[in-house]
Homo-oligomer: A and B are copies of this chain.
Amino acid sequence: MKIRTVVWGENVHDRESAVVQGIYPKGMHGCIADALNADPAISATTATLEQPEHGLPQERLAETDVLTWWGHRAHGAVSDAVVERIAERVWEGMGLVVLHSGHFSKIFKRLMGTPCSLKWREAGEKERVWAVNRNHPIAQGVGDGFIVEQTEMYGEPFTIPEPMETVFISWYDGGEVFRSGVTYQRGGGRIFYFSPGHEVYPIYHNASVQTVLRNGVKWAHNPAPTWAGVTKNMNVPIDKAPEPIKEHGPHLHKPGEAGRR
């Protein structure tokens, strides 16, 4: 079965900026979805901010294996309820690929527990994306790295938790560096953040970037069953303890009570 992928796009600059429209006539999400669908293992559709529930109702998320996220200008317009819904699906096992300015999205900050702030500069300078571990699944097909001819600079310090793996580190004309590809595990779900993707440059048409997107979706896909109840504490009553035990001492909770958690 194909990896059911939803490409989420903010779709604001895509509609309002002539520059962005010129580069991405189908929107950035359309371009990304096309790049993903070029891989026979992936089946990608799109969702956008202006749709009801941002195109991400519970039923659709329940049938999504991997979600990709691009937002920039309208992070604050994303509903907190949808953010929690996505976080819960990630903990249940859904993969998440966060792109570029998505570093400051509610969902990424929610899952990292850090500010996710950085330095930035919009100068169309050159970025060299270096692979730290060329044998990592996400780095397949791009050798030791690749060039993004025009990019927005993102610079350290990038206030993220120490990654599970640092896959890419970028070099910029202007003198900065950035951990441009990093991975995390959160509950049952895998998260990949990838920084190239400023909307006024044709970055998602770059063949190497498209390769990384496809690799990232495949890496983030966890075929394990949904981790139902991942957010809940679970009482193990005394008579169901793995080893036979007796109760000692006082207690707060009455037998059969679920606890106040």
Q: Which residues of B contact A170 (CB under 8 A)?
A: 177
B234 and A119 form a contact (CB under 8 A): yes
SS of A interface (majority): loop
A233 and B174 form a contact (CB under 8 A): no
Q: Given known contacts A186-B161, A199-B252, is B231 in contact with A115 (CB within 8 Å)?
A: yes
A175 and B171 form a contact (CB under 8 A): yes
Instruction: Say yes or no for A52: interface residue by CB 8 A criterion.
Output: no
Number of interface residues of A (CB under 8 A): 96
A174 and B242 form a contact (CB under 8 A): yes
Question: A185's contact among B161, B188, B246, by CB below 8 Å, is which?
Answer: B161
Question: A125's contact among B131, B136, B248, by CB below 8 Å, is which?
Answer: B248
Instruction: Say yes or no for A31: interface residue by CB 8 A criterion.
Output: no
Instruction: Say yes or no for A157: interface residue by CB 8 A criterion.
Output: yes
Instruction: Say yes or no for A110: interface residue by CB 8 A criterion.
Output: yes
Question: A233's contact among B119, B222, B251, by CB below 8 Å, is which?
Answer: B119
User: Residues of A at under 8 Å CB distance from B?
Assistant: 13, 17, 19, 72-73, 87, 91, 93, 101, 104, 110-115, 117-125, 128, 130-137, 140, 144, 150, 153, 155-159, 161-166, 169-177, 179, 184-189, 199-201, 222, 224-225, 227, 230-238, 241-243, 245-253, 259-261
